[in-house]
Structure 1
Amino acid sequence: MLTAVDQSEAHAAIRSDLGVIFVSLELSKSSWLVTSLAPASSKMSRHSVPGGEIAGLLAVLAELRKKAGSRLGQPHRLVIIQEAGLDGFWIHRVLNREDWIESHVVDAASIAVSRRHRRAKTDRIDGEALVRTLMAYHRGEPRVCSMVRVPTPEDEDRRRICRERKALVAERVRHVNRIKGLLLSQGIRNYEPMHRNRRERMEELTTGDGRRLSGNIKAQICRELDRLELLLEQIRAVEIERDRLVASSANDQPSSLAMLTSIKGIGPEFAVILDSEGLFRHFDNRRQVAAYAGLAPSPWQSGTIDREQGVSKAGNPRLRTTMVQLGWLWLRHQPTSALTCWFNERVANNGGRLKRATIVALARKLLVALWKYVTAGVVIEGAIMKAT
């Protein structure tokens, strides 16, 4: 029987007469592995570049092109693939500046792998798998993988506002919970670190057995309050920047941010998340919109088995979470809209059950409706607009 390495070498002789040099990049912090397959060749070559040295990578790619050109008598373009990961998109942007390079970024989860319980995994095997995936994609095979639509630096920078605020709020929750936990261990339950009189209340606290707070635990809580107050200032600064972005978009006509904030129930935070995380992209149809947010259904059909597994959760998690939250707010602020009536009727038919599953379906419908509203100006049926 052939080992995994023998099988890898045996299957390396694949069709390579497509007129380009296929290259895959396996990126890590310490090194970059370059795997290539030239035209009229049956063997993949590998080169290692120290991690982060883009000049060394370009030199290796130029040498690959030079060798293939001297052997075949004419220069060939390089088609390069890399997985979306820690390095972001800066390598892709540098490679695309060269007119002899065509770069792609692939969603690693969309590449088919062995379904064995213990599959072999090395950078060498992954590099070869990426090359084969790239060749199939270049031949036009459908659904062989999902290529990432790389955002522009401007679009990528706009995301930072809402993402930073979310990280700061999560850190604020951790500090508040830590302060409350420390005080609860002393029998104190009625202290709110988020109140403005947090410092004055700290001096008045007494433990459950009637003592003043000890020196060390009081000092620890005060240091937690220092970090909490710094977080509050940073959150306030991010929110000011967010509001400035929304206000500046009001002068642009038509502006997706201005259109979103004109709907009752959608504030600046949700509008910025919807605009920067999803609605700034181009979608061909409503299915692509739902799939990008991870709200598309996942059927399981085989023979007589036919059931739904719920939403795929394969898309943008921030957009998906926001849409579910917006679904609940939509029921409160848009009670007469067609979507709210559909939700109430669906829940009533189920006897008041399955609200959580139905709200996800409402989130999917609402996202599609907002996409149509922003791109084509189709007003959501029955939606209440804010007073100008």
Structure 2
Amino acid sequence: MFKRLSKLLIIVFIAVICFVPSAWAFCGFYVSKADAKLYNKASQVVIARDGKRTVLTMANDYQGDVKDFALVVPVPVVLKADQVRVGESKIIERLDAFSAPRLVEYFDEDPCETNYFNDSLRSAQAPAPTAQESVSRRRSDRSLGVTIEAKFTVGEYDIVVLNAKESNGLVTWLNINGYKIPKGAKQLLQPYIRQKMKFFVAKVNLAEFDKSGYEFLRPLTMAFESPKFILPIRLGMINSTNEQDLLVYILSPKGQAELTNYRTVNIPSDADVPLFVKDEFGSFYKSMFQNSYTKENKKVAFLEYAWNMGSCDPCSAEPLNPEELRKAGVFWLDSSVNSNVFLTRLHVRYSRDKFPEDLMFQETANNQFFQGRYVLHHPFNGEAKCDAGKQYQRSLPRRFEQESQTLAKLTGWKIQDIRRRNNVPVSSSIPWWRRFWF
């Protein structure tokens, strides 16, 4: 699909006071997040969708000489210059930071003073070729079964939109015209040709790229109307034998977006884990995701976040403001209020044998909130001389063991190693036998 799609250390955090008015009032102090940077080459796509209208943004995480860059995306309609623009990488980073799975922490209060509950499109027209060149090229293109439906330059990208009758001719045309297409493309292009889809093809205009002053390629955003709510992923498998990570951020005025042709499951969440996870949350989350992925037979998409953009609890980043949402493709905003923008974050780890079809979505009216959230509970470390305090201290070993068991189950890590590391600060008020417990 996309030759590789891209991959504020979060600023501050607010102590939230909660009265738990509903099941989704999580509260706690935000500590860390599991964002796209955890994965070496995580593709990221933003889809803003309302009815048949779609704004699709793809982040290019291309590594290599930009002159060799080639992006081929099947699209349902012919795109014109005013339907394509260069996006901002920062907007995708903001969506990632806002929706990333998060680690939060609580601090137990003095059990002698409280009731303790142990709840486990700016565009420029490309220069026209000479008349003689145009006639010669059109004849060659027709012989290959390829028609150029549109041709233009946007920012640092030269873009053509192609119609093709068969994959051999399309691959030949791409190679003749300087697009480096990897082996195996013919087989994966043919299904799109049968569906009468067009091909959005981009390469870098080196002169424009040098003038832009940007070190990396910027995202490309395209807007179109189609009853098909799909994301082509098969072309992304051409030159990779390994599994690939894809993060999809879907923005809708209605509610959650769902896959219709693959099963979607919630990532394990709301788990109490040992305190040492704070120093290695990234390693924890990667192990947990891989473990969950393996248990699901590698055939599911994981829901990592679903929330209305007007709020968050706890916040791993500030919600995007209306101007940022418009840059992300949200075209239905008519005020300064973000409450009619619902964000769904799906994490797909895919390979050719486990995901043989493109991703097909549907909008729903499901407004249920969800987030990947993992909790640290710091034990009270002061004097606790009352009966409730003594009972609290006696309950801690059982709590630590439960945290250890939970971590082992989530990650597949060895329980003996977890127990050895799951220590707590020793206070003079803690009984001697607890000081040697692990």
What's the TM-score once normalised by structure 1's chain length?
Answer: 0.21
**Structure with greater proportional strand content:** 2
**Relative contact order: is structure 1 or structure 2 higher (C-alpha 8 Å, sep ≥ 6)?**
2
> Max radius of gyration: which structure?
1
